[in-house]
């Protein structure tokens, strides 16, 4: 009887292992169907990661990091995250609130006394949720250059302090804080400056010490040209007349809190683990993060009323497109990092995720 039970157990484990291997192969085949054939072996491409129940079930690079060296894209290739960065900026703010050094209801003028009166009613929470009404700094750059001529370029980029100066020259915002939602890169640049001012450390240093180093995200950094280097760096590209050309930097590529981080699949898998396990902060989610369908909170778009509750974000900038989709109830995460701008990162990410989501 014991021997029969033992043999049954062995048979069951073998069958389960065989099923798991078969399932893994099927998932890999499905992902290949989604991603293969998009990038040639010598063109700019992308890196894709799929996780289920905290485990990596697919991880693959396609194409090359740049057209000069033709180095292949892999899990350690670092891409500019663009607006994908915002969730890290938000976590940095949340850590300072947790430390008791900052309040969500603190106003911009409390942080920056020289800011005009319209900043008195703009809170940190407004900045986090894109309800601040701050003017878009790229629009302000255009206004200045129409009067003074060209000022900023890929070689002479605008930095965070200059963004703040542009905002301080305005007499009012686009709308009263809290009365409307409008996506704001300006808001997240200001949040990056707040992190630096409150912590007493440069924004990139704070993120390294409080987020990247503890999570062993050893190749993730806030890029500052001339101050640090990106290892295994992917360079951005665009198609012009059906030919890829390097379009890696623009006049706005140096700002930090809204889009300055470089990272790779290997590190972002650790980031996803930290979010799932509440490694950096407790599970108590701020009310503004709960949201409704099609809401935004603390660096994430939120579809919590969807049959498959989802937190997601895109990144879209000169030469790069990125996406992260996290299906909370289904324990599915898909991350896509592209160094070319002719791909629809959202459609590809969604297509990969849907094959893993149960029908509801």
Residue 179 forms part of a structural domain: yes
Helical H segments across the chain, by residue range: 2-35, 86-98, 108-111, 124-129, 137-148, 160-168, 185-199, 203-207, 265-277, 287-290, 345-354
Residue 13 included in any domain: no
Q: What is the pLDDT of residue 185?
A: 97
User: In sequence order, what are the beta bridge partners of 48?
Assistant: 60, 336
Model confidence pTM above 0.85 = yes
- Residues 262 and 280: their CA atoms lie apart, in Å, by 20
Nearest alpha carbon to residue 50 among 316, 331, 277? 331
Q: How far apart are the first and last CA of the chain?
A: 43
Cα–Cα distance for residue pair 129/42, rounded to 1 Å = 40
Please give the pLDDT value at position 4. 45
DSSP three-state, residue 249: coil
What domain range includes position 47?
Answer: 42-354
| Alpha carbon separation from 33 to 73, 104, 333, 336 (Å, rounded) | 19, 45, 18, 15
Q: Tell me the C-alpha distance between 281 and 256, whole Å.
A: 22
- Distance of CA 246 to CAs 45, 154, 279, 307, 320, Å? 12, 13, 38, 41, 11
Residue 31 in any domain: the answer is no
Residue 9 makes CB contacts below 8 A (sequence gap 6+) with none
Domain assignment present for 237: yes
Strand partners of residue 128: none
Determine the Cα–Cα distance for residues 49 and 111; give it in Å rounded to an integer.
Answer: 39
Is 193 part of any domain?
A: yes
CATH number, domain containing residue 345:
3.40.710.10
Structural domains in the chain (count): 1
In this prediction, residue 102 carries a pLDDT of 97
Would residue 29 count as lying in a domain?
A: no
The answer to the question of residue 27 being in a domain is no
pLDDT in single tens digits along all 360 residues of the chain = 444 444 444 443 344 444 344 477 788 888 999 999 999 999 999 999 999 999 999 999 999 999 999 999 999 999 999 999 999 999 999 999 999 999 999 999 999 999 999 999 999 999 999 999 999 999 999 999 999 999 999 999 999 999 999 999 999 999 999 999 999 999 999 999 999 999 999 999 999 999 999 999 999 999 999 999 999 999 999 999 989 999 999 999 999 999 999 999 999 999 999 999 999 987 654 444 443 334 888 999 988 878 899 999 999 999 999 999 999 989 999 999 999 999 999 999 999 998 888 876
- pLDDT value at position 360? 66
Please list, in sequence order, all residues whose beta carbon lies within 8 angstroms of the beta carbon of residue 61, skipping any fewer than 6 positions away: 45, 46, 47, 48, 72, 73, 74, 75, 77, 265
For 227, phi then psi, to 5°, come to -110, -30
Asked if residues 127 and 187 have their Cβ atoms less than 8 Å apart, the reply is: yes
pLDDT of residue 284: 58
C-beta of residue 203 within 8 angstroms of C-beta of residue 193: yes
Q: How many other CB atoms are there within 10 angstroms of residue 118's CB atom?
A: 21
Distance CA 255, CA 276 (A): 29
Question: Which pLDDT score is estimated for 295?
Answer: 84
Evaluate whether residue 222 is within a structural domain. yes
């Amino acid at each position: 009887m014991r021997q029969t039970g033992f043999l049954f157990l062995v048979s069951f484990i073998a069958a389960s292992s065989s099923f798991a291997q078969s399932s893994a192969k099927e998932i890999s085949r499905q992902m290949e169907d989604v991603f293969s054939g998009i990038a040639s072996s010598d063109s700019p491409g992308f890196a894709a990661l799929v996780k289920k129940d905290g485990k990596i079930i697919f991880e693959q690079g396609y194409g090359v990091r740049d057209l000069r060296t033709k180095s292949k894209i892999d899990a350690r290739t670092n891409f500019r995250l663009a607006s994908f960065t915002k969730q890290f900026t938000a976590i940095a703010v949340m850590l300072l609130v947790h430390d008791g050094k900052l309040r969500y209801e603190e106003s911009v003028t409390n942080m920056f006394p020289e800011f005009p009166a319209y900043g008195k009613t703009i809170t940190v929470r407004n900045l986090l949720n894109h309800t601040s009404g701050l003017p878009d700094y790229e629009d302000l750059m255009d206004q200045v250059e129409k009067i003074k001529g060209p000022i900023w370029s890929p070689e002479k980029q605008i930095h965070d302090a200059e963004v703040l100066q542009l905002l301080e020259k305005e007499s009012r915002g686009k709308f009263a804080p809290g009365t409307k939602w409008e996506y704001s890169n300006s808001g997240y640049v200001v949040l990056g400056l707040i992190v630096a001012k409150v912590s007493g450390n440069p924004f990139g240093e704070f993120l390294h010490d409080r987020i990247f180093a503890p999570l062993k995200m050893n190749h993730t950094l806030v890029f500052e040209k001339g101050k640090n280097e990106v290892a295994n760096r992917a360079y951005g590209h665009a198609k012009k007349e059906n030919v890829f050309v390097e379009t890696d930097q623009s006049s706005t590529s140096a700002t930090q809190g809204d889009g300055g981080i470089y990272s790779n699949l290997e590190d972002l898998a650790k980031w996803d683990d930290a979010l799932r396990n509440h490694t950096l902060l407790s599970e108590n989610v701020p009310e503004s993060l709960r949201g409704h369908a099609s809401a935004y909170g603390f660096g994430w778009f939120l579809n919590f009323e969807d049959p498959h509750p989802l937190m997601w974000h895109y990144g879209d900038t000169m030469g790069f497109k990125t996406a992260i989709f996290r299906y909370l109830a289904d324990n599915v995460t898909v991350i896509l990092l592209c160094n070319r701008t002719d791909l629809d990162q959202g459609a590809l990410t969604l297509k990969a995720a849907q094959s893993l989501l149960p029908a509801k």
